[in-house]
Structure 1
Amino acid sequence: MADGTSVPIGVMTPVRGRAAKSSMRRFAQQRSTVAFLLCLPLILLIAGFVIYPAFYAIYLSMLNKKMTAFVGLGNFSFLLKRHTFQMVIFQSCLYAITAVIFKVVIGFTIANLMNNIPGKKQRIWRGLLLVPWVIPLALSTLTWWWMFDPSYSAFNWILNQFGFANVPWLGVGWIARFCTITVNVWGGTPFFMIMYLAALKSVPEQLYEASAIDGANAVQRLFFVTLPMMRNIISITILFSLIVTFAEFDIVRILTAGGPQDMTQIFATYAFQVGIQSGDIPLGAADSLFMFPILAFAAFFVLRGVTRRSKDIAA
């Protein structure tokens, strides 16, 4: 104090205590704190089921087959030298990229056709077209497997009615690749359709009216109005589908199990074969990690384009 007297500690303690409680209350009442606390269970789940397994997979990929010695990048170099794994890389890229391209084109086409159907009929068709996406993938793939089966194939029965010979749908490499891609496109197209349909409904009708006044035809409206307004949605759905398709397991495993002669093996099925069936878990972990740089490269460029376009729109 100014007069040289001192205030007892007991007098200051309640004041400090009230100040501390007040600051804690303000901290707890902040929107960012509330949001963090609400997201905390999800953060813990992600850490427990995604982050920890990812780092543990990296650790496993650097061990020998018996998991007793550290081999560094030996498993990765061993895989890259194998002709089968080189074929797996090619087939995984072919499978994912081809399937995504078909899903984008077919989904966008169906969404445009659906957007022109009035009210109640659109809801009915939308519900029907979502069925392939709603059905469990393993169950629908079993149905496709029956239709491709060499002995009881529904497709071969139809071909026989028109005088054509049976087709070994799952017995020839390139035909089997076509079949796996077809099933993936069938199951994934409804997702693209519903996303693009929502994006189409968010395009302001005034833009179409202005372009019609300027004399733009349907094709010009598509390329200069619809597609520019949907670029971000298209990019995000492509990225999401690439990630899911690269990690695909059910379709290939049920239809072909990687055959014939490993000509339909992709990253997930080959990792299962090497890591689980052959008992070389570190090699299987190394195989699965090869997807990461490919998807990281695609995510970087897609998200950079989305961010750039968002900034341009905001400016």
Structure 2
Amino acid sequence: MRDRCVYDGVGYTHGDRTVSVDSAELDQGRQVGRSRRKLADRDDLLARLFLLPTAVYIIGLVAFPFFLAILFSFSDVTTGNPSLDLVGLRQWRTILSSSIFWTSLWNTMIFTGISMVLIVLISHVLASVLVKDFKGKWFVRFCVLLPWTTPVALAAVSWLWLLNSIFSPIDWVLRWFGLIQENSYYLGRPVLAMGSIIAIHVWRIVPLATVIIMAGMMAIPSEINDAAEVDGAGFWRKLREINIPLTLPITAVAVLFGAILTFADMTVVFILTRGGPTQSTQVLASWAFFKGIEGGDLAQGAAVALFLFPLLLAAAIAILRMVRRREVM
């Protein structure tokens, strides 16, 4: 049998050999082990440690810039004069008296409203198709998700070429079919320009909404769809009477994410139209950038950007209340 080490109060004895160990060192080692076990067993302390990086991120990159923007909006700070003298509500009165602000606000509401309606409808149809089993399903899913994985700047530049007033491949195809006789000037006419940026934004956001709604549809019990098929319900009837009502809470989450991305997005407008023609595609996010960054008026740019906050807050509260009422029902 293998010899065992025996502790005799002075040291460990193994056969005829004795290794002396200081009792203070043993006590210290035991205390370290106990302290480590206590640390690992304290869920509240571990939770705080895990939340610390998130808290640092939110404070450093969200909370601090937000309160700094509030301070800027009540000052006269510019890129050429960073003195930060407080001037009260002067910047707010200036932007509220500007016709461009009201045009941008109206364009933002139109841009967001039409985009969200199209995103919800298209994503529901795509999700209803993609949850089914068919040959090549994974390739189709990859193609649907591709716009979301494409960098927005690269996608916008590609669309800028597709919508070019002279070399547009879209116009070439339409002329080949005899549908148009002259160039469409998609980005040079107010209605077509707004329609173009809405279409591109929908193309970008639909994949994200489709994935979210697919998750909700997969949670619907298969017995419900089987019973609907037995009753003779077709694709559109099941979509209208089963999929949309049962996925309404998760659809609201998709709408909330989409609304936030739409309100705060300025990349498509900046690259394609820069707010033109004649401010017809100018939105609050892009105008805040032009005023604060390109124009150098940080105070007015911050004031314009802060107008997005109550709009987003109101939209979030309305959507969350709708979800809560739906859950109660």
- Whether 1:156 aligns to 2:171 is yes
**Pairing 1:73-88 to 2, within 5 Å after superposition:** 73-88=89-104
Distance 1:226 1:288, change over 3 A: same
Corresponding position of 1:270: 287
Is 1:39–2:51 an aligned residue pair?
Answer: yes
What SS does structure 2 have at the residue aligned with 1:258?
coil
Identify which range, 150-159 or 77-86, moves more after superposition.
150-159
Task: Provide the secondary structure at the position in 2 that maps to 1:130.
Answer: helix
Assess, with a 3 A threshold, how the Cα gap between structure 1 residues 207 and 33 changes in structure 2: closer, same or farther.
Answer: farther
CA distance in 2, matches of 1:224, 1:32: 45
Alignment partner of 1:239 out of 256, 261, 266: 256
Is residue 176–residue 256 contact of structure 1 (8 Å, CA) maintained in 2? Answer: yes
Structure 2 CA distance for aligned equivalents of residues 200 and 207 of structure 1: 11
Does the CA contact (< 8 Å) of 2:119 and 2:209 recur in 1? yes
- Normalized per residue, the structure richer in helix is 1
2:157 counterpart residue number:
142
Q: Deviations over 1:117-163 (max 9, x none)?
A: 43x52111101111111110110110100111112211222233326
Partner residue in 2 for 1:130: 145
Find out whether 1:187 has 2:204 as its counterpart: yes
User: 2:182 corresponds to which residue?
Assistant: 165
Residues 167-213 of structure 1 show CA distances to partners (whole Å, capped at 9, x for unaligned) of 11111111111111111011111111222122111111122334556
Does the Cα contact within 8 Å between 1:159 and 1:166 map onto a contact in 2?
Answer: no
Segment drifting more, 224-233 vs 186-195? 224-233
Which residue in 2 is equivalent to 1:92? 108
Q: Write the letter of the residue equivalent to 2:161.
A: W
Shift of the 224–157 alpha-carbon distance from structure 1 to 2, 3 Å rule, reads closer
Structure 2 residue 65 is the aligned partner of structure 1 residue 53: yes
Counterpart-to-counterpart distance in 2, 1:265 and 1:73: 24
Q: Which residue, out of 110, 126, 131, partners 2:126?
A: 110
Per-residue deviation, 1:24: 10
TM (norm. structure 1) is: 0.85
| Deviation sequence 1:253-297 (CA, Å, 0-9, x none) | 000111111111111210111111211100000000001111101
On the 8 A contact 1:159/1:165 being kept in 2, the answer is no
- One-letter amino acid of the structure 2 residue matched with residue 134 of structure 1: T
RMSD: 2.4
Instruction: Name the CA shift for 1:224/1:168 in 2 (closer, same or farther; >3 Å).
Output: closer
Q: Distance in 2 between matches of 1:164 and 1:112?
A: 38
Asked whether the 8 Å contact 2:256–2:319 carries over to 1, the reply is: yes
TM-score, scaled to structure 2: 0.82
Q: Which one-letter code corresponds to 1:278 in the other structure?
A: G
Percent of residue pairs bearing the same amino acid type: 30
Residue 75 of structure 1 and its aligned partner are, at CA, apart by: 1.4
Q: 2:164, 2:228 → 1: CA distance?
A: 52
- The answer on whether the counterparts of 2:40 and 2:46 sit within 8 Å (CA) in structure 1 is yes
Give 1:224 shift. Answer: 4.0
Contact residue 116 and residue 258 of structure 2 kept, 8 A: yes
The answer to whether the 8 A contact 1:192-1:237 is kept is: yes
Q: What is the DSSP-based 3-state SS (H/G/I as helix, E as strand, rest coil) of the residue aligned with 2:136?
A: helix
Unaligned 5+ runs, structure 1: 1-20
Partner of 2:16: none
